[in-house]
Amino acid sequence: MTRRPIIAANWKMHHDHLVAIQVVQKLSYRLERDDYEACDVVICAPFTDLRTLQTLTEADRIPILLGAQNCHWQDRGAFTGEVSPVMLAKLNIRYVIVGHSERRQLFDETDDMVNRKAKAVLHHEMTPIVCVGETLEERDRGDTETRVTDQIAAAFAGIRGADAERCVVAYEPIWAIGTGRNATPDDANATIATIRAALRRLVSDAADDIRIQYGGSVKPGNIAELMRMSDIDGALVGGASLDPDEFARIVQYRR
């Protein structure tokens, strides 16, 4: 089965809204119609950038899709500092990252919270990018398969059918994020094959429609080899996505 590739930028806590305008404009100058036809190009920006980028992309008809880096699972309430999925949907956000390793590690997000967020994102007609991945200690113990399988089972609890098909999964080994180290394409593909097998047990035929990205020090120099792997459908790009030239080269991996 051919799944449409998805190349998503995760800017993390970088770029104020003025810089965001410049970066997206420069990126749009470097990308061509063929690039947008070949894959979904997504920018997951800080919350403060989203309204500005919505206005820019809609006014200039830039076919870059917008994503958020997180959300709460409740539509509204006394949750000071949180952003609800309703607020994001009103900005025409298409994707929301849930369960990023930094959220799990630094902000104590649990598997149950990730599941609630994924359901809330789906409820409001957006697509969750569900992140899974192992630590270096888990990898060294040989627990990668168990860890990602458990995370998938928890994240997709109660998500079935058409909702499951709409999801994106990102395999981002925690030990590779921001370290300059990355899994070899074969290793990444093998773990992603494990993730897809776990999805097949949970959501049956829908698993073949779910796109699975690799994230972890993705750069222009390794994207083409990663995308040649049979089970890798895209990339969740961190540091290299901050520079429009670098990110454009990643989107244009086919060249």
Residue 13, CA distances (Å) to 48, 104, 192 in order = 10, 16, 27
Residue 45 lies in a domain: yes
To the query of whether residue 100 is one of the catalytic residues in this protein, the response is: yes
* Angle CA 69–152–91, to nearest 5: 25
Say which of 102, 109, 134, 172 is annotated catalytic. Answer: 172
Give the pLDDT confidence score for residue 180 in this predicted structure.
67
Average pLDDT along the chain, 255 residues, taken 10 residues at a time: 92 98 98 97 98 98 98 98 98 97 93 98 98 90 94 97 96 79 87 96 92 94 96 96 98 94
- Whether residue 1 is contained in a domain is answered as no
- pLDDT value at residue 178: 64
Among residues 72, 100, 109, 124, which one is catalytic?
100
Residue 179 domain flag = yes
Q: How far apart are CA 13 and CA 5, in angstroms?
A: 25
Residue 70: predicted pLDDT: 98
Does residue 89 belong to any structural domain of this protein?
yes
Residue 138 sits in a domain whose CATH number is 3.20.20.70
141 domain-assigned: yes
Which of these, 189, 208, 191, 184, lies nearest to 149 by C-alpha position? 191
Q: Is the whole-model pTM more than 0.85?
A: yes
Q: Please tell me the predicted confidence (pLDDT) of residue 1.
A: 59
CA 128: distance to chain centroid? Answer: 8
Q: Per residue, what are the HEC states of 85-128?
A: HHHHHCCCCCEEEECCHHHHHHCCCCHHHHHHHHHHHHHCCCEE
> Domain count of the chain?
1
Residue 207 domain flag: yes
183 assigned to some structural domain: yes
Asked if residue 189 is part of any domain, the answer here is yes
Tokens 């961190």 belong to 238
Residue-level pLDDT at 193: 96
pLDDT for 136: 85
Quote the domain boundaries for residue 216. 6-251
CA-wise closest residue to 44 among 75, 62, 68: 68
